[in-house]
Amino acid sequence: MSDEAPVPAPGEPTDRTLAGWIAHQRWYTAKGGTPRLRTLAEPAGTRLVLDDVPTGPVLYQVPVGTDDTGAVRDATTDPDWIRGLAARIDADDESLVPIGSVRSSRVLSGEQSNTSVICETDSGAEVIVKVFRVLHHGDNPDVTTQLALSAAGSARVPRVHGALRASWPDAGRADGTATGHLAFAQEFLPGLQDAWRVALGDARDGTPFAADAERLGAALAEVHRTLAEVLPTEPADEARRTAAIATMHGRLDAAAREAPAIAEHVDAVRGVYARAADAEWPDLQRIHGDLHLGQVLAAPEPRGWVFLDFEGEPLRPLTERSLPDVTLRDVAGMLRSFDYVAGALAQDAEPVDAGAWAHDARSAFLDGYQRGTGSDLRAHRELLDAFELDKAVYEVVYETRNRPDWVGIPLAAVTRLVARSAA
């Protein structure tokens, strides 16, 4: 593939006309900046443009055309373009259940980083097609993890219909070419609430959530068991343990500089991290990586909880998000989410004390996870405390920057966890 920018077809936007349009899109990352666009490639009926911003180049997928007035039009809103995309996804992997003919499509509103399109098919089924906007070389873990689970027959993720890959020029790579995922299609589950909304409603009403939390723990255990069976695992060697603990210390250092409220706890937190470094670690495997109640849908029984969005922690490089990791990171993320249910209700105009509700939900979730894995989490208490503390430290910084009135939520968790670990 040539490094020269493709020449737009007649009627298609030039890089210059596209720049003004892309600057106002929700998924454009350099908010307030002036795009400096250069089309790199036009594979598979779409367009890949490089934005040379001062913070570093970013590659976007921008399928566009023009309307009758000559204005730029997002092709994801065009049913004909979506039909073509669905056909290309079906052709890319014939081993999966095909999407089939698309009767109609609509863009899902509210997304920040990608564009999801709901497709109604001739079979009556609905499919959600996620168009990735910011592209990277390598496999997207949202695709590969859910594909592995779906191929294994797991009902804990929406059934995968397929994904579309492409290549583009990349002067920074030895062979001059990068390859990655452009789009991902899976079963759409309409009308379902996520676990955050279910838990928030139950906690506000005083409805016990323990039984649901226990089933949620068992469902996560099932996901982890399946991933360990179908994707590689590896021992947590000294290098990986040292790197993980170093990342925790680095986040703590940054938090202490930015969030004075955490300063008095720094030494105690470091003590927890030191004990975690010396503890026994389970084998590393593929995990969710950014798990919280908002990433789980409440489907009717017998299916139950369904997990979404396996892209991993957004701030980590794509290559790191697919690496085997510690399952306790997912467990810790869910524990923090239960705390946030109680914390959010305490901030209501009519505050609700859901502290006991959250405690019971956390305990039941851990019971379900232990039952599902057949392991004793008490044997990994130091490590679980470290991962939960690391998440809470991150939250202290986030709340300090964005919602200072909420900083007490993660700060209370830091206080509780260091006290428990020292006991």
DSSP run (H or E) holding 38: strand 37-41
Question: In sequence order, which residues have a C-beta less than 8 Å from that of residue 7 and are 6 or more positions away?
Answer: none
Computed over every residue of the chain, the mean pLDDT equals: 94
pLDDT for position 9: 62
What mean pLDDT is predicted for residues 354-361?
Answer: 97
Q: Is the peptide bond before 302 cis (omega within 30 degrees of 0)?
A: yes
pLDDT tens track for 296-344: 999 999 999 999 999 998 778 888 899 999 999 999 999 999 999 999 9
End-to-end CA distance of the chain: 62
SS3 48: strand
Find tokens 């290559």 and name the residue.
319
CA-to-CA distance for 323 and 390, rounded, in angstroms?
A: 19
Domain ranges across the chain: 76-131+140-162+178-187, 195-422
Percent of the residues in the chain that have a pLDDT greater than 70, as a whole number: 97
270-284 pLDDT tens trace: 999 999 999 999 999
Pair 310, 369: CB distance under 8 Å: no
For residue 363, the model assigns a pLDDT of 97
Contacting residues for 13 by C-beta, under 8 A, at least 6 apart: 21, 64, 65, 66, 72
- Cα atoms in the Cβ-side hemisphere of radius 13 Å centred on 57: 14
Asked whether residue 66 carries a pLDDT value surpassing 90, the answer given is no
Cα–Cα distance, 421 to 423 (Å, whole number): 5
Handedness of CA 392, 398, 399, 404 (dihedral sign): positive
Give the pLDDT band (50/70/90) at residue 380: very high
Q: What is the predicted pLDDT for the residue at 392?
A: 97
Give kind and range of the element (H or E) at residue 230: helix 210-230
CB 331 within 8 A of CB 220: yes
Q: How many residues does the chain have?
A: 423
Contact 326, 236 (CB under 8 A): yes
In this prediction, residue 1 carries a pLDDT of 40
User: Which band of pLDDT confidence, cut at 50, 70 and 90, is reported for residue 287?
Assistant: very high
Secondary structure letter of residue 193 according to DSSP: P
pLDDT at 116: 97
76-131+140-162+178-187 belongs to CATH 3.30.200: yes
DSSP code string of 305-370: EEE------TTS-HHHHTS-B-THHHHHHHHHHHHHHHHHHHTSSS----HHHHHHHHHHHHHHHH
Asked if pLDDT for residue 114 goes beyond 60, the answer is yes
pTM above 0.95, yes or no: no
Residue range 195-422, CATH number: 3.90.1200.10
pLDDT at 3: 53
Give the 3-state secondary structure of 354-367: CHHHHHHHHHHHHH
Q: What proportion of the chain, given as a percentage, has pLDDT over 90?
A: 86
Spatial neighbors of 283 by CB under 8 A, at least 6 apart, are 228, 233, 234, 235, 236, 324
226-256, pLDDT tens digit by residue?
A: 999 999 999 999 999 999 999 999 999 999 9
* Closest listed residue to residue 291, CA positions, set 156, 381, 168: 156
- Give tens-digit pLDDT for 29-55: 998 889 999 999 999 889 999 999 888
What pLDDT, on the 0 to 100 scale, is given for residue 416? 95
Contact 216, 364 (CB under 8 A): no
The band of 2, judged by pLDDT with boundaries at 50, 70 and 90, is very low
pLDDT confidence of residue 388:
98
Structure tokens at 180: 């990655």
Order of strands, edge to edge, in the sheet holding 58-61? Answer: 37-41, 48-51, 58-61, 134-135
Pairwise pLDDT comparison (400 vs 67), residue with the higher score: 400
Pairing verdict, β 102-107 and 114-121: antiparallel
119 has pLDDT over 50: yes
Instruction: Give the Cα separation of 276 and 189 in Å (integer).
Output: 39
Mark 255-293 as b/e (b = at least 16 C-beta within 10 Å). Answer: bbeebebbeebbebbbebbebbbebebbebbbbbbbbbb
Tell me what the mean pLDDT of segment 400-408 comes to. 94
